[in-house]
Amino acid sequence: MTIAVGSLLLDPPVFLAPMAGITDLPFRRLVASFGAGLVVSEMVASQEMVQAKPGVREKAELGFGEQATSVQLAGRDAYWIAEAARLVEGNGAKIIDINMGCPAKKVTGGLSGSALMKTPDHALSLIEAVVGAVSVPVTLKMRLGWDEDCLNAPDIARRAEAAGVQMLTIHGRTRCQFYKGRANWAAIREVKDAVTIPVIANGDIIDVASARIALSQSGADGMMVGRGSQGAPWRLAEIAHALGWGTAPVVPRGRAFVDMVRAHFEETIAFYGVELGGRVVRKHLGWYMDHAGTEARLRKAVLTSDVDKVRRLLPEAMGAEVVA
């Protein structure tokens, strides 16, 4: 199954969700290597990126041309978000996604992310600014609404489509739910019924079983997977294949699993440098050790700032015999 977004064909319609501090270039590259219709960058603050604040440009370094990649922008000012859109298009972005779903207080406190759902007229001004600034497709990610008294996703979806947005991703929670409770996939169907553009379901889709139910209840055209990919970068391809949308991934085991983890580790170190890279990759090593069932003693030894020690212990920690 293929989703058309502008002139782009996204196949399979199982996409990697943007996750702050997680979906950097090395991880996106790894997930894409198993098979994903689209990978989305970490949320990038528009004004900070245009003004080249430290650490922000790196988030937008996406490995253009390697896979279908979307850059997700956040902002509250039409000028800055439009300038950021122009900048990332100039760097080769194929799709630009607008963030209206992040529930974090530091984002909503700045009137960005899901806070925009409280001010739909202002949100539409940002959407119109981005669509008018670039020639690549613009998509939108949002929640069901701000809270249970403000479930306005269908209305915003209609207005966004009219403004030129070409795909919507809906997280099946309100902002005030944060990540508590369960995603309401059935409520996404109201958005699907309100528009003609593709709608992607998001929230609590972590494996094949949850993917099947989410698709059935939402009527969505595809899905976006976040934490289900942590420690299992093949998960998107696994879900797609189970739904009849692609070939089965070769899930790495034994030495192949160790080699995959080692390559991810080394690419992260090379991307960020030793000090920062060692900190960033630590969470991924923890998830890989969850998958491998690593014992507590060895797990503690691996989660260290000593990069050489990590290299030495990785095979044993990932369940393979140490090879001299």
Residue 154 marked as a ligand binder: no
With contact defined as beta carbons under 8 Å apart, do 177 and 146 qualify? Answer: no
On whether 63 is known to bind a ligand per the annotation, the reply is no
The verdict on whether residue 19 carries a ligand-binding annotation is: yes
Whether residue 289 is annotated as binding a ligand: the answer is no
Residues 6+ apart with CB under 8 A from 169: 15, 97, 101, 139, 140, 141, 142, 199, 200, 201, 202, 224
Instruction: Mark 4-28 as b/e (b = at least 16 C-beta within 10 Å).
Output: ebeebebbbbbbbbbbeebbbbbbb
Q: How does DSSP classify residue 137?
A: -
- Dihedral-angle region of residue 322 (phi above 0 means left; psi in -120 to 50 means alpha; beta otherwise): beta
Structural contact between residues 38 and 95, judged by C-beta atoms closer than 8 angstroms: yes
- Establish whether 226 is an annotated binding residue: yes
φ and ψ at residue 35, rounded to 5 degrees: 125, 105
Pick from 218, 196, 127, 125: nearest CA to 164:
127
Q: Is 157 annotated as a binding residue?
A: no
Per-residue DSSP letter, 93: -
Q: Residue 4 belongs to what H/E stretch?
A: strand 3-5
Which one of 5, 32, 36, 102 is the catalytic residue? 102
291 is in an annotated binding site: no
Is 150 known to be catalytic?
Answer: no
CA 195 to chain centre: 23
Residue whose entry in the numeric block shows the structure tokens 């609590």 = 204
72 annotated to bind ligand: yes
The span from the CA of 134 to the CA of 34, in Å, is 30
Tokens 């859109």 sit on residue: 85
For residue 259, what is the enclosing H or E element?
helix 255-272
Catalytic annotation, residues: 102
Known binding residues for FMN are 18-20, 72, 141, 171, 226-227
Known binding residues are 18-20, 72, 141, 171, 226-227
